[in-house]
Amino acid sequence: MDNITIARLLDETAALLEIDAADPFRIRSYRRAAEAVEQQTTQLATLTGPDADPKALLAIAGIGKGMAANIRDLVATGSMPLRDELLAKYKPTMLELLRLPGMGPKTVALIWTALAVGDIDALEEAAKAGHLSTLPRMGEKFTLKLLKGIEDYRKNSGRFRIDDAEEHALRISALIREFPGIDQITPAGSLRRGRETVGDLDLLVTGPACEPGVVSAAVEHVASLPLIDKLLAKGQNKVSFTLRNNLQVDVRLLPRASYGAALQYFTGSKMHNVALRQRAIKRGLTLSEYALLRLEDNVIVAAASEEEIYRALDLDYIAPELRENSGELEAAANHSLPNLITLADIRGDLHMHTNATDGRDTIRQMAEAALARGLSYIAITDHSKHLAMTNGLDDARALAHVQRIREVDAEMDGRIRVLPGIEVDILADGALDLEDSTLSQMDIVVASIHSRFDQPIEETTARVLRAIDNPHVRILGHPTGRMLLKRDAYAINMDVVLQRAAELGVAVEHNAAPARADLNDLHLRLAKQHGCKIVVDTDAHATEELDRMWFGITQLRRAWLSAGDVLNTLPFDQFMAELRPKP
DNA sequence: GCCGTTTTCGGCCCGACTGTTTTCAGTCG
């Protein structure tokens, strides 16, 4: 059983305990344990055997004696006594009900005991038949909202890619800004933390129009934006609505003086905030979205900026990407936070396409665009022949392409280096689809698998291992073959692949394209642990796609990586010297 | 169920909004 499954089962148990009205703190500890398990880079199943160190599980924050026993049971039997007990009492489909708007654990439990309704279809039926109105606090309005919620849930229960979410954030911000007296609109929540996907959009608005007394006019403005599909809630300083694509947007309008506290609060994550508030209480303080206050006399200690709030809690400033309650508070307390990589650290982009295959722009255009973005070297890595739909290059065309790339390199006159390369496809048996003699002419050979989702893990893993054994391969592209939102992150044994890549000196690619995002933060941490050479690149198919490097950087930051952990932060000569030597 | 410079018991984050309530419980973030 892998960590993701263990985490899911613990989280499920937490939800069932909630429906069972168990001790809220006990529920929280199950949630916390689930998150902790999910963030481990070592598979817990290897720590539960008879000869494993019994202390290993207990070393993880949030896992004590009881939870360690639960995890051992899960690994050994696939379940655990408490979970079995709860599942005998409730139906597993009830967990889905919790995801409907307005349906919390109390309501789910109530309709189960009162009406024996435990799944979405039955709930819809009961609502339409008017059975819900016999229950307390569930009138006509509640029923209508619920039916709409069920409809929406069926239509779209997914999350949104970070780049899409950002685009919506920009559009909405522009409309809000039309109201006079709005200074600043900042996306908070998981968008600011740089999660690959966001469930909803949090926009923080501040300015003279948001001060108490006058804020209601600005609230009205936001609540009547033309792009609103459904208005979900409107309060004194908060407006929630959904767009036509079902993305939920929460807008909060807050006074300038509490901007820092509000930004901190709405950025989250929830677990980070809980831990931060606990720390505040230990220091005789209390933290809310308005301010950090001294408990004894309610005097404001900090509120205007995030920096002063963290400082007042004896912490170094914690970047949003790290706020997941996975050790960042401890590191901030003892000044051991990493010096996170930034976009400005990146000097080269090693993966891009041109109009020779499925790209849009020419070699020269890509080079000029990269230069304009401050890069000092790039590799042109068009597709090889196996990918017929991309007009992939056969050996002859690939060699001719090398010539043209070298010519452009010369034309650029040293302002930027343009390296000949290829994104070569890994065939089913692990061979590459071009001749070694062709590959020997390339500076950068990126070996990628483009379809692997239907194969057993062992086969896919063996295929990749064989491919990187080819001495011409310098970068393993799309290492997990993962497509975001259709993700099957474990269709390959990444532990084995990364270890072998490290031994061979093959760099592993972190693809910045949000649709690809091959290595998630766990993989990246694992790659660092194994001593892999990590490169981040854009896989750009047009000049403007070079801009998406920021997204890759954000993911690297989430994995606590510094510039020194990433190969293409090095100047050109050092970078080339660090790559696997050409045979 | 976890945790400890309040350490093996007694704590455990904070506030807004909704619906249906005449004072609040439940949900949400």
Cross-strand bridge partners of residue A516:
none
Q: pLDDT tens digit string along A138-147?
A: 888 889 889 9
Token pair belonging to A275: 């831990």
Residue in the block written with tokens 């070694």: A436
Q: pLDDT tens digit string along A394-451?
A: 999 999 999 999 999 999 999 999 999 999 999 888 999 999 999 999 999 999 987 6
Q: How far is the CA of A27 from the C1' of B20 (A)?
A: 29
Rounded Cα–Cα distance for residues A564 and A138 (Å): 57
Q: How far is the CA of A137 from the C1' of B15 (A)?
A: 22
Q: How far is the CA of A116 from the C1' of B12 (A)?
A: 34
Whether the predicted pLDDT of A156 surpasses 80: no
Q: What is the pLDDT of residue A388?
A: 66
Q: What is the pLDDT of residue A362?
A: 97
- Structural domains in chain A, CATH included, are 3-155 (1.10.150.110), 160-254 (3.30.460.10), 259-333 (3.30.210.10), 343-578 (3.20.20.140)
End-to-end alpha-carbon separation of chain A, Å? 40
Rounded Cα–Cα distance for residues A433 and A424 (Å): 7
Nucleotide nearest to A235 (CA to C1'): B17
Q: How far is the CA of A42 from the C1' of B4 (A)?
A: 27
Q: What is the pLDDT of residue A572?
A: 98
Helix (DSSP H) and strand (DSSP E) numbers for chain A: 24, 17
- The Cβ of residue A546 has, within 10 Å, a number of other Cβ atoms equal to 20
Q: Given pLDDT bands bounded at 50, 70 and 90, which one contains residue A483?
A: low
Whether the predicted pLDDT of A386 surpasses 90: no
> What single letter denotes the amino acid at residue A539?
D
Nucleotide nearest to A284 (CA to C1'): B6
Nucleotide nearest to A28 (CA to C1'): B1
Rounded Cα–Cα distance for residues A501 and A182 (Å): 51
Rounded Cα–Cα distance for residues A431 and A182 (Å): 59
A365 Cβ contact partners less than 8 Å away, ≥ 6 residues apart:
A543
- The Cβ of residue A358 has, within 10 Å, a number of other Cβ atoms equal to 15
Whether the predicted pLDDT of A484 surpasses 60: no
Rounded Cα–Cα distance for residues A316 and A314 (Å): 7
Average pLDDT along chain A: 90
Whether the predicted pLDDT of A485 surpasses 70: no
**Closest by Cα among A564, A579, A493 to A528:** A564
Whether the predicted pLDDT of A546 surpasses 80: yes
Q: Which residue is nearest to nucleotide B19 (CA to C1')?
A: A137
Nucleotide nearest to A60 (CA to C1'): B2
Query: What CA–CA distances, in Å, run from A56 to A6, A35, A45, A88?
Result: 16, 17, 11, 32
Rounded Cα–Cα distance for residues A261 and A56 (Å): 37
Whether the predicted pLDDT of A130 surpasses 90: no
DSSP symbol at A340: B
Q: Given pLDDT bands bounded at 50, 70 and 90, which one contains residue A486?
A: low
Q: Taking residues A349-364, report their average pLDDT.
A: 96
Phi–psi pair at A560, nearest 5 degrees: 65, 30
Q: How far is the CA of A39 from the C1' of B27 (A)?
A: 28
Nucleotide nearest to A276 (CA to C1'): B13
Token pair belonging to A499: 């270890």
Q: Which residue is nearest to nucleotide B11 (CA to C1')?
A: A25
DSSP symbol at A559: T
Rounded Cα–Cα distance for residues A536 and A479 (Å): 12
DSSP symbol at A580: P
Q: What is the pLDDT of residue A160?
A: 87
Protein-proximal nucleotides of chain B (any atom < 7 Å from a CB): 1-3, 6, 11-21, 25-29
Q: Taking residues A73-101, report their average pLDDT.
A: 91
Q: pLDDT tens digit string along A22-55?
A: 988 899 999 999 989 988 888 899 898 878 888 8
Q: What is the pLDDT of residue A229?
A: 85
Rounded Cα–Cα distance for residues A220 and A183 (Å): 17
**Closest by Cα among A473, A359, A471, A378 to A425:** A473
Q: Taking residues A72-98, report their average pLDDT.
A: 92
What percent of chain A has pLDDT above 90?
62
Q: pLDDT tens digit string along A194-240?
A: 988 888 899 999 999 999 888 889 999 999 998 888 888 888 889 99
Q: pLDDT tens digit string along A228-244?
A: 888 888 888 899 998 88
Q: What is the pLDDT of residue A416?
A: 98
Q: Which residue is nearest to nucleotide B17 (CA to C1')?
A: A235
R_g over Cα of chain A: 26
Nucleotide nearest to A104 (CA to C1'): B27
Q: What is the pLDDT of residue A560?
A: 95
Rounded Cα–Cα distance for residues A161 and A197 (Å): 4
Q: Which residue is nearest to nucleotide B4 (CA to C1')?
A: A282
Element of type H or E holding A264: helix A259-267
